[in-house]
Structures are given as structure tokens and as C-alpha cells.
Amino acid sequence: KPNKVVEAKEVYGTSSLEHPTVFSLVQETGAYYVGGNFHGINSVAFPYPVQTPAEVRAVLPEGKPVVAFQNRNPIHRAHFELLVCAQRDVKDSTLLVHPTCGLTQPGDIDG
């Protein structure tokens, strides 16, 4: 059973319930986490193409650094500028934009 107060402090730097993600972790996340390999459970079917982590790694150039950005909503101008600066800082890098699915927060743009 996870110690969510310790987890919040180590991950977010605070255990204050005034922090919206800490509040969600402590008050809304279930009592137990499940991890490891699952057998007999099929992946969710999405109405758009998706790739497994192994499939993503297979298309990245071998031996070349990767600048990766994971986002849960469409990229806006600030994201774009962050990506341009990060890629410029890592010589000869490949840029990987990795969209995710999940809960949105107030103010997010629908994907």
C-alpha cells in the first residue's frame, strides 16, 4: 500500500492538499497500485493508430540522442518554443513528441 504523503513530497516537492495534483493523488487515487506484466488483458482499442513502446523505439535512429516531450493536450506556442530550444541544446538530436491520453485539467484544450 503506497504512502501517498511521502510520494507527493518526493514527486511534487509538497504534500499540501492545496496543490491540485497532490489533492488528486491523496484524495482520489485508489488505495493500491498495480504494476508489472499483465497476461490475458487486451490493450484498449483506440479509434486512431497507436504504437507500443517497443514500436516507438524501433523507429528512432540508433545511437542518436532523443529530445522527448510528453503532453496530454495539443501543443501550443510555449510548448513549441520549449521543444525548439531543447533540440537546439542537444546536438544532432531527434525530436519525439509523445502524446498521451488521460484526465485533463481545467483549462486544457481538448485533443
Q: Give the model confidence (pLDDT) of 32-91 as tens digits.
A: 998 888 788 787 787 878 888 899 999 999 999 999 998 877 777 888 899 999 999 999
Instruction: Give the pLDDT confidence score for residue 104 in this predicted structure.
Output: 65
Q: Is 22 exposed, middle or buried (0-12, 13-18, 19+ CB in 10 A)?
A: buried
* Per-residue model confidence (pLDDT) at position 79: 85
Whether pTM exceeds 0.75: no
Specify the pLDDT at position 58: 95
